[in-house]
A and B are shown apart, each in its own frame.
Chain A
Amino acid sequence: MDSESSRSVDDAVSRLKDVPGGLLPILHAIQDDLGYVPQESVPVIAKALNLSRAEVHGVVSFYHHFRTAKPGRHVLQVCRAEACQSMGADKLAAHVRERLGIDFHETTADGNLTLEPVYCLGNCACAPSVMLDGEPQGRMTAERLEALIASVGAAR
């Protein structure tokens, strides 16, 4: 962990360690700031919360939301759930993987875009849906997706 990340972890831990059930809020604060939960933060959190490292690691790995590797500068989440499937989400997912040359949970070689699956964005009446950097996008087509990807300057 570089010193900046380390400071971010220390800050989250000192701010939230006394909150009841504070482990998830701490992990969220770290990921909100750094984009992921660095391995090296686990012992720091464990010590502050009086937990074992295994316990903290167990929580991080249980939840799909938490990443243990640094993501690209942008994150594209593609909904894979039923309502989006009914409107062609599988085809859209195949297209985006091909277009970017990566699979889900991978990042483009230029470090620009990470691709993740998501299971419903609550935008099921405007399917298929994706979310780019926390902003939902509905009625997605290959063309609109192309424009979205271009808007963050992602190459293959």
Chain B
Amino acid sequence: MSIKVYVPRDSSALSLGAEGVARAIGAEAARRGESVTVVRNGSRGMMWLEPLVEVETPTGRVGYGSVATADVAGLFDAGFLEGKAHPKSIGKVDSHPYLARQERLCFARMGVIDPLSYDDYAALGGWRGLRNAIAMKRVDAVAAVTTSGLRGRGGAAFPTGIKWKTVLETAADQKYIVCNADEGDSGTFSDRMTMEGDPFVLIEGMTIAAVATGATKGYIYVRSEYPHAERALIAAIAIAEQRGALGADVLGSGQRFDLEVRRGAGAYICGEETSLLESLEGKRGMVRYKPPVPAVSGLFGKPTVVNNVITFASLPVIFDRGAEFYRDYGMGRSRGTLPIQLTGNIKHGGLVEKAFGIPLRELLYDYGGGSATGRPIRAVQVGGPLGAFLPESQFDTPLDYEAFASIGAMVGHGGIVVFDDTVDMARMARYAMEFCAIESCGKCTPCRIGSTRGVETIDKIIAGRDVGADVAVLESLCDTMLHGSLCALGGMTPFPVLSALKHFPEDFGLDRDGLAVAA
């Protein structure tokens, strides 16, 4: 019988040479007359071990980490096809401590299956949630989402059930489901992993939304920086149509739902939902005034559900195992689990799905293993370019929307970027302003002009001529942006800037009390 060998097709694995490894394994097997089937799975999310090759053995899957093409012949020699020892062996993958302690609901199949196998997806619980949703009354399906406590995973953490209720209750001849797959935050890739490694879970989640709200057309807006994700989605949609999970009669429900992939064009602001809708309509991505909210008047003026990839991908398990099952994970008003991304200067970077409430410190050290460079971790940025920088003294904060908000930070899309003690926080503050200037949609002056002035002012602070006065200018500028911006790009860029200033004043030429150090 043919032995199954898994080599991920995830972009991160590919970025470290997985394609060559897959080819070398196929060629070496042919040369030796071994019967091997190479399966291209998603990534398990242990990115420091990519390319992670797995072999199916009678007692479970055995992994070999950081495999290079040059290792392949040696792996065959060592008997890796029987899961035998080799310096690169990590043993049974499922019992690896990084994975064994996770609570993978959304990412249950990630790295386990061939992402484009409809039957593998079904065998591991796929489509059950959708079937249950179809069997429910629409109001009950929407109520179940509310009961689950699910809040939007794209950043704003708005209760998903409330949004859907509005769409359900707004009468219209056409409703839309739009998936926000613009994933622009640095330090995030859970959407990408999902689209590449388990695209059917996103398709199922969006179809549940369609069934629950009566929408018949959906769009997935994928950023142009994700070519592999786009291709995986297009392939998965074609398969789902062919198998009847999409199209004129979704799983025999009598309801139509068609799904289309649209590509973004390198604008961070198009992750903001109204800008995204403008972009889908073929326009510049200018942020719209609200109200009306998209749930009332969204794409082409019709009621539209806009949710993040991970929000949608959380729905199949909610509808399969029940709203209460999901709600029982988490803390406070943050229910369920969050796929957290450990990135930047971290030893064990990757994807950790855990119930809300896990302290940042546990993620950074127990999972992350500290910095990649081995130097002390000095700062982390959580929640993307609009998230605050946190110093060591705040590492005990639990990952919880309210706990983060209470220290002026945000969980956002769950990305954590780690910096060691060589980081210059004045430069990071400057970058935050620069990024805002590059990506501003230009609609409001505080954001458009303020960010450019912010860069200039931080340059002056770095030059160090009159730090006290320039810091005062910077603070007042931030105040104007905070209060005078239409959306969170201008409105939250002050968070990284002010948190850097507050927690790392020495990098700005200030003493610990925020006073200018005499030159």
Contacts and interface: CB of A to CB of B under 8 A. Distances in A.
B79 interface: no
Nearest to B227: A134
Interface stretch (A5-13, A94-102, A118-126): A118-126
A122 B281 contact: no
B350 A123 contact: no
Given A25-B262, A64-B266, A121-B225, A138 B12 contact: yes
Interface in A1-26: 20-25
Contacts of B344: 82-84, 86-87, 124, 127
Nearest to A85: B431
Contacts of B342: 125
B428 A82 contact: yes
Nearest to B373: A87
A119 B268 contact: yes
A129 interface: yes
Nearest to B286: A62
Contact of B349 (A22, A66, A121, A126): A126
B267 A124 contact: no
Nearest to B226: A122
Size class of the contact patch on chain B: 35 or more
Contacts of B229: 122
Contacts of B187: 82-83, 120, 124
B54 interface: no
Given A24-B279, A118-B225, A86 B423 contact: yes
A9 B435 CA distance: 33
B22 interface: no
B48 to A, nearest CB: 7
A58 to B, nearest CB: 6
Contacts of B225: 118, 120-122, 131
A27 B268 contact: no
Nearest to B345: A86
A28 B223 CA distance: 12
Interface string A27-47: 110000000000000000000
B186 A125 contact: no
17 contacts: A21-B281, A21-B282, A63-B267, A65-B264, A83-B186, A83-B187, A86-B345, A86-B423, A122-B12, A122-B188, A122-B192, A123-B15, A123-B189, A125-B343, A125-B349, A125-B350, A129-B15
A-B complex: 9 closest residue pairs judged by Cβ atoms = A125-B349, A23-B282, A65-B266, A63-B265, A138-B15, A81-B186, A124-B343, A86-B344, A125-B47
Given A126-B50, A129-B15, 12 more contacts: A20-B281, A20-B300, A21-B282, A28-B263, A82-B385, A85-B428, A125-B48, A125-B346, A135-B15, A136-B12, A138-B15, A139-B15
